Structure 1
Amino acid sequence: MKSLTKDVKVVVFDTFGTVVDWRGSIIRDLSIWGRNEGIQADWTALADRWRLEYEPEKNRVRNGEIGWTNLDELHAHALEKVAAEVGIKNLSRSQMQHVNSVWHRLDGWPDAVDGLTRLKRKYVIGPLSNGNVALLVNMAKHAGLPWDNVFSCELFRHFKPHPETYLGVCRLMYLNPAQVMMCAAHNYDLAAARALGLKTAFIPRPIEYGSGQTTDLVPEQDWDIVAKDIIDLAQQMGT
């Protein structure tokens, strides 16, 4: 393992699902807020239905239907649709903005802060995420994520798995692809990174989508590292 990763200088992470528990966080956050606001809603249904719009919304940018639009704005557009579908109606503008900003308030998985802190001792670490800069910075403050830098796809004006996102990290850090490791709970993300020469680490999150999850339960290729969580990744990476 050491020979595979000895040249790595930067370790970047998919964030939604890999580092933070987006589904559980949304349900917890909005359930408390809804009770305080006197709003009865199926927040679990909202979280699941909202996430189903994630790829379709990004595809509106990818296929040229709309110009570059960051994830906060895409989430807001999707929320207008899905809130009505799950029976959440008559929210004020400020209430809708609060709901949409829940993505800024996501909690890390239990191993995230400890594992990232260990990795930070030796490597430059940061999210390579479709989230926009403000979202990722606010999330890091909320969850205590000790990033060295935020490699938001907003900087590259492309969403993953576009090559410019992965190679953009290499360009910004003046590194060859083999000196950058992509870590993710999603096989497609790692496959795109590996095709460009990056090192790869798979961290399964089998309840990202709830107890009935059927995807990304196991590594689909021989990734450079397969770790049970970020603490295990740090150990395997020598920190």
Structure 2
Amino acid sequence: MSSVPPLRVLFLDVFGTTVAQIPPVADELCRAAKEALDSKTSSISGQVRSKAMQMSCDQWVDLVINWNRSEEEFVHDSKAKHGNVDWKEVDRRRISSLQVLLANRGLIVLRLKPGTSELSVEEEGSLWNEFQLAHLGRIWHRLPPWPDTCRGLEMLNTRFTTVGLSNTYQELLNSLVDDSNIPFKHVCSSEMFNSYKPNPKVYLGAAEKLGVKPEDCALVAAHLGDLKGAKACGLYAIYVERPLEEKDPELREEKIPDLHVGEDEGGLVALAERLGIRSD
């Protein structure tokens, strides 16, 4: 491992890199749809029922990918327009964007609330009601770690300071990490720096908060755009590929990672081993 610099801190992206997001969210929506279709008390219309029964696993995955992308676009737009992000509004936005995505696929029926420009779910005929959609809209608060995450972090913690570094707000990040028992030594949200990765303020601010120089740090991420931003700030770039997570496949041509763990190579456990940490 002579090519790896003497790192002190590993910043790890959270959503997609240390916790799974696309597969478990798609699985939960698929299970919830089956439960609704099997319910004897539901009032799903024949047309909605037919469309829901025809939804394949791949179609649920595609919906989730678009759902996640819409949230990211909202955050970027909010930051650009207002110089700040209302993270509570992001949570509300997730629910409303899910409603729109489902309505576009004919799975729920939306109506304008009388005298307003707000949309509401027409419970009669829809696959889910508003209460059920609010619960589904908070899936992102209860995502599971990848199978290798906790063990890999335990190994990495023997040599490095590990820090979850995420584009979210601190309350959600703390709750997610606590509920999943992910053994980060520290967690930092982009809310702390009033910015959003890949803005340099996040990477450099996180390094400053830990009292280290950028060259003492690495970013571990499943997203090349994130790694590109970190590398431009002087951080070492470690690419841990995860299923369905790469948003910018065209960046593969730029050869951004300094170290690369392939999708089927063992995730964070494999990373620890490549960094010279033996698994007991």
Instruction: Indicate whether the TM-score tops 0.5.
Output: yes
Q: Is the 8 A contact 1:21 1:106 kept in 2?
A: yes
TM-score by length of 1: 0.84
Contact 1:46–1:86, Cα closer than 8 Å, also in 2: no
Counterparts of 1:137 and 1:29, CA distance in 2: 22
SS in 2 for 1:63: helix
Q: Of the candidates 100, 117, 120, which is equivalent to residue 81 of structure 1?
A: 100
Contact 1:58 1:74 in 2 (8 A): no
In 2, Cα distance between equivalents of 1:13 and 1:47: 23
TM-score, scaled relative to structure 2: 0.73
Report the CA distance shift for 1:44/1:187 in structure 2 as closer, same or farther (over 3 A). Answer: closer
Stretches of structure 1 lacking an aligned partner (at least 5 in a row): none
Deviation track 1:139-184 (CA, whole Å, cap 9, x = no partner) reads 2234332111211111112111111111111111111111111011
Q: Measure the CA separation in 1 of the matches of 2:33 and 2:74.
A: 26
Secondary structure, aligned partner of 2:234: coil
Match of 1:227 among 261, 264, 278: 261
Counterpart contact for 1:219–1:226, Cα < 8 Å: no
Aligned to 2:14: 15
Letter in 2 for 1:56: E
Q: CA deviation at 1:26?
A: 0.4
Structure 2: which amino acid aligns with 1:96?
A: L
Greater mean alpha carbon deviation, residues 122-131 or residues 31-40: 31-40
Partner of 1:63: 80
Deviation digits for residues 45-64 of structure 1 (CA, Å, limit 9, x no counterpart): 53133123133212222321
Q: Which amino acid aligns with 1:192?
A: G
Match of 2:136 among 99, 103, 108: 99
Same amino acid, percent of matched pairs = 28
Stretches of structure 2 lacking an aligned partner (at least 5 in a row): 43-48, 109-120, 122-127
SS of 2:10 mapped into structure 1: strand
Which SS does the other structure have where 1:161 is aligned?
coil
Residue number in structure 1 paired with 2:4: 4
1:188 and 2:207 are equivalent in the alignment: no
Q: CA RMSD in A?
A: 2.7
Q: How many aligned positions are there?
A: 235
Which stretch of the first structure deviates more once superposed, 140-149 or 163-172? 140-149
